[in-house]
Structure 1
């Protein structure tokens, strides 16, 4: 691949969610404060009410917005269903049992996301997933850890976006944030010995999603997560126990 890498496609509702969070920050709104209406938000971020509605679903799922039927939108306290503060309170990145449970959780959510993506991915979303896989491969071939990580993130989040389920998008993003935290502490951010296999596994997932084979996509995602966990275990044993 030559020249600058194109940015991975991101759904409009995801971009709108970020803009709404920025508006909350700029207006210095606090938990409990009333927010603008959907119509006003759509006008401010320059998109449709439908897109804003989907963005609000994501923000509600991650505990940033409280939707009160008949009353409007309010800034939440961060303790929503997928609120980061709640996850952070129970997850210790140095606790190996928790790390393994996180992999277990990722396996559940990402096999589901891959299955749905095979049925729902648009051509643009397929291109974004393919581009991310190529970026990840380039990072591996050139030994650029940051590039590999960026491609890996774009790949998994691209699949979640293609599931068209905002709850999966939010949970995949948060689980990967925690995963990066544990990898930084446990593996010093290294790519690990599984990188070459991961490239082929990404391709298998992408091909299944592109072909609309939901079951093959789910199986390929499960294999990828299982092998990634095996690599993590081996690396931890090598670094901590000298095995």
Structure 2
């Protein structure tokens, strides 16, 4: 089944039209995020993601507090070239999102171990059970994995943490999808994934805040390291 395009992919394709119809040339400043969001009828967060993709690929330069400027006009025209641009940027964004997740989720696990209710622990356990039972169901496993991490943040009872992770939910799901695609292709790493989640759950359920935080940090750091190795070999470029 063909995967639905993400919002930022559509925006990148629409921004391409600026280049092709001559509306923008090298050195020109892009309209403000607010104006682009209104023009494309999307959130400013989605606009930022699309601009970040263009920046990573050297198409634009984002100046802190000064807007975005066209760096080169040789924008990829074919769907294959555009797909390669987005794929390259997504690899980079996965790393950035993993760094952000490590910071948020490690402290969330620490707080969840202190504050999780029996109902919240039950949600974590059910997500874990579904993850273990979804070995051959990609989407079900992805949803269970995502819910496990989301439920940890919700168990902090910190409204700002919860609001932030909900805002980043699409990017977080994309990151989990990328890491699961890699990890689950190796039976040993697939087993490690379940085992790591089980240990995190056990630490939270037992109220061991320090261990819960440590295990989440180790879990995400390990994934980032594995992906770095994976992409460096070139195996992940066309996945």
Is the 8 Å Cα contact of residues 138 and 147 (structure 1) preserved in structure 2?
no
Higher radius of gyration, 1 or 2: 2
CA distance in 2, matches of 1:78, 1:240: 30
Determine if contact 2:124/2:152 at 8 Å carries over to the other structure. Answer: yes
What are the Cα deviations for residues 23-79 of structure 1, in whole angstroms up to 9, with x where unaligned?
xxxxxxxxxxxxxxxxxxxxxxxxxxxxxxxxxxxxxxxxxxxxxxxxxxxxxx956
Q: Does 1:156 align with 2:149?
A: yes
The answer for the alignment partner of 1:171 in structure 2 is 164
Q: In structure 2, how many angstroms separate the alpha carbons of the residues matched to 1:218 and 1:229?
A: 17
Show the counterpart of 1:107: 102
Question: In structure 2, do the counterparts of structure 1 residues 240 and 200 end up closer, same or farther at CA, with 3 Å as the change threshold?
Answer: closer
Show the counterpart of 2:174: 181
CA contact (8 A) 1:110 1:172 kept: no
Match of 1:222 among 203, 217, 224: 217
TM-score (norm 2): 0.58
SS in 1 for 2:143: helix
Q: Which runs of 5+ in 2 are unaligned?
A: 1-41, 54-85
> How far off is 1:238 after superposition?
4.6
Alpha-carbon distance change, 198 to 175 in structure 1, aligned in 2, over 3 angstroms: farther
Q: In the alignment, is the contact (CA less than 8 A) between 2:109 and 2:209 conserved in 1? A: yes
Contact 1:187-1:235 within 8 A present in 2 as well:
no
* 1:88 alignment counterpart: 49
Q: 1:103 to 1:132 in 2, by over 3 A?
A: same
Matched residue count: 159
Please say if 1:239 is aligned against 2:235.
yes
What TM-score results when the alignment is normalised by the length of structure 1?
0.57
Deviations 1:136-172 (A, max 9, x none): 11112xx211111011011001101101112222333
Shift of 1:203: 0.7
Task: Determine whether 1:199 maps to 2:194.
Answer: yes
Which runs of 5 or more structure 1 residues have no equivalent in the other structure?
Answer: 1-76
For 2:104 and 2:229, the matched residues in 1 are separated by 24
Distance 1:182 1:203, change over 3 A: closer
